[in-house]
A and B are shown apart, each in its own frame.
Chain A
């Protein structure tokens, strides 16, 4: 079990989740702690993978971008983990999870359109050893994604 975040951590993260380019000094002044405290806590949280500070780009700003949910069924249940690990190595996939229900694995990616999705599944997913089949759903309107939360695994 990983460490939980305490109140001071949460206050720092709250500030960083709005704009992580803010300086440690600015956060420190705002919270009434020392700059060293902020620096040490941010470092620890990053090292323990409790937070990740990263750039995100706005899907609304790009032409022809839609989110695709790809549900993958494996040949034999014993292959699920190996297939999921292979899929996690595909750069274009932003999410790979072993699922209980609906199908064996869920992979999420961004595509240009239905044709691009079909091509991606055919050329990149179906060729992975152990993949029996895949069915996909194409997003038409991306209403919300709270980028402040994710499973930090790598």
Chain B
């Protein structure tokens, strides 16, 4: 084939050829250097390195640290660790089948566990694909098993490769109590495999998976010290001989226990809240089969400390340690019940009429309404797509409006304040933002405003219409909030507009009980408003529990004055019946004249607020104030329509 010959170009081509030859020589030299070095290491000096390598016949056995305990505010232990003995076998290739059979038979003889017969043990040993790792045969609690372990130790010669390691096991002493706050621990899975590289975990370690077990796992203070629950693993260096049997313990580096947590939770109140919530949901379920879940929160209004927080259905944290069977799995992975889902922080819902409190605050704060502002609740005022009211209330002021939960008043007050003023106050109350509580899975919820609508809808559907303000004012429309946000808003109102960050961890203590870290209450925001306006709002909230108010049945003749608001919220979910499927909400603080605690509670599809969250609230307040429930239960139940 004829190729056009252009001398200049050909020169360049030749030059590349020549110069590439030089490069190839450099490349060969580099490979030669590597090969020479390998020759030096592997052929000339291999005996030296083999000697070091055989000295390296050490096994590093990790000793898990004792995980820190978790206490409630009264130092009642919620989570702790129990010492167990982990019985493992480390084998070698040189052991014959018969030897392993014999070993398995011997071990089964000592363990006397019907589920661990010789055959099973043999299968466990031979089935181990990684023979450099010992096979864990069983884990025995130290209590009641001291004799067994001693006899295993004595008969080591019949049990070659036997390894007994003391290992702590997580126990939750109060069972299911506060399960959503505590969370659970579990084995490292593929999804958190990076923990091993970055934080020195081993594949066999248990790590916190949810709740404070997770968020406090490796808590680091401002000095960068890690003072969380996990502690520091100990290392035992074992020397093994060529056939992989343990010759002696070379060194033991003791593990360092993790630090313990003292929570802000009060177990007595927590227990009452959980039991009351469960009983309320079950009772409502008889008439309303969809009512299957709920949540409640009780906050200290001055500090933001969570005194109790419940989510129903709940779970037993211990179930997740040893792996769950199919029956439990069916319960835990039920798509509707979602027992591990912490509804108090992860569930966001429309909140209905309970939101009118926030609307009233916003309208008062910007001066749109005052004590004497009256609005006409009458069909002639239900124009411009305003939602109808449940009754025709005539001329109403704020106090009357909240007592009877008047839709017209709330909508007009909202419109008078205007969406921008309202949005500002709602934001200050913490709606639509993470509270930053030390729990997993918290959701922001959604606080809608014109900017949000423009971003999320096309064309004219993105405009903010008057009815958007109306619906928002009565807790419907696009927005949804978490029970914790509702409790936070109520606490902020009770605290004269100072929003405290909700938190569940009070302090971290070391094994001697010394405090190594103390949480300080943190102010998140302040709403400035005249004392007179606060009083107007407080009076209106108090009117809700007075005769004629929607929560009179709940707190009518209660020993301390209670400020409250009920809510019956359209779920806004596709497939729900608009006239029958409502979430029942209840928010409150008490005592109304000197607030200490704020409550928010809800039952999914619970319908009325007073008969769902309201009942839980009364039980919880009884527990908090130390009242006997028989004294405070009222008989005026049926007389009030919400």
* Chains A and B bind each other: no
Chain B interface (Cβ < 8 Å from any Cβ of A):
none
